[in-house]
A and B are shown apart, each in its own frame.
Chain A
Amino acid sequence: DTEVTQTPKHLVMGMTNKKSLKCEQHMGHRAMYWYKQKAKKPPELMFVYSYEKLSINESVPSRFSPECPNSSLLNLHLHALQPEDSALYLCASSQGVRRGIYNEQFFGPGTRLTVL
């Protein structure tokens, strides 16, 4: 199994809603990532988890709350989002976070989020 899966594919939520995005991989990777991608822009790193611990938070607002329950699963909890948070949210994984080419990142198909 060489893929990263993300659910749901599409999500529409109001500014007062609480929702969660889910990401799963079964490649034995120990690093997982959340990216935000606005239309016609490159992905921007949000969070990095290494061995289920948060290692990088790129100054993301607290209305985004990541969680890594185990090495295969990564969640992104959403609360009180703003319309400008509408974007494609991409999850990625890599074998680890050590130096080396084998730490290339494999991406999931993304969740298209719309905040009304």
Chain B
Amino acid sequence: AQTVTQSQPEMSVQEAETVTLSCTYDTSESNYYLFWYKQPPSRQMILVIRQEAYKQQNATENRFSVNFQKAAKSFSLKISDSQLGDTAMYFCAFMKHNNAGNMLTFGGGTRLMVKP
């Protein structure tokens, strides 16, 4: 079974600064996918960024980038130029495929507060 660990239950950052959220996972799979989802107080889960395990290049989406270290099973999220709207719960998620479907396993989440 896969496990996903987010070791920082809560973090805060000043507006316009950079923050990094950590995520580690454990799996015996060789082909899998990793995601960061954001869940603001409005509770809608929004996909922030995705990474395919077979790609060595780190994914980037505007102010969001990841540091994917496959050997270390680490998948951290960096948010640059933090904005007030980035305040949310952030979940790291691992997706594996089996014949019945794609199953997401979430980490425990990191609550991020962006301060003005």
Contacts and interface: CB of A to CB of B under 8 A. Distances in A.
A42 B44 contact: no
B42 interface: yes
B106 A43 contact: yes
B116 interface: no
Interface string A72-100: 00000000000000001010101001110
B89 to A, nearest CB: 8
Contact of B102 (A42, A90, A94, A108): A94
B102 A105 contact: yes
Nearest to A96: B102
B97 interface: yes
Contacts of B33: 101, 104
A94 B102 CA distance: 9
Interface in A31-80: 31, 40-43, 45, 48, 50, 55-56
Contact of A104 (B35, B43, B101, B103): B35
A42 B91 contact: yes
Chain A: interface size category: 20 to 34
A42 B109 contact: yes
Interface in B74-113: 91, 95, 97, 100-104, 106-109
Interface residues of B, number: 24
A31 B101 CA distance: 8
A29 to B, nearest CB: 12
Nearest to B4: A42
A99 B98 CA distance: 8
A50 B103 CA distance: 12
> Which of A43, A50, A56 has the largest count of B CB atoms less than 10 A from its CB?
A43
Interface of A: 31, 40-43, 45, 48, 50, 55-56, 88, 90, 92, 94, 97-99, 101, 103-110, 112
Interface of B: 31, 33, 35, 37, 42-47, 50, 52, 91, 95, 97, 100-104, 106-109
Given A90-B45, A92-B45, A103-B102, 13 more contacts: A31-B102, A42-B107, A42-B108, A43-B45, A43-B104, A48-B103, A56-B100, A56-B103, A101-B33, A103-B95, A105-B47, A107-B44, A107-B46
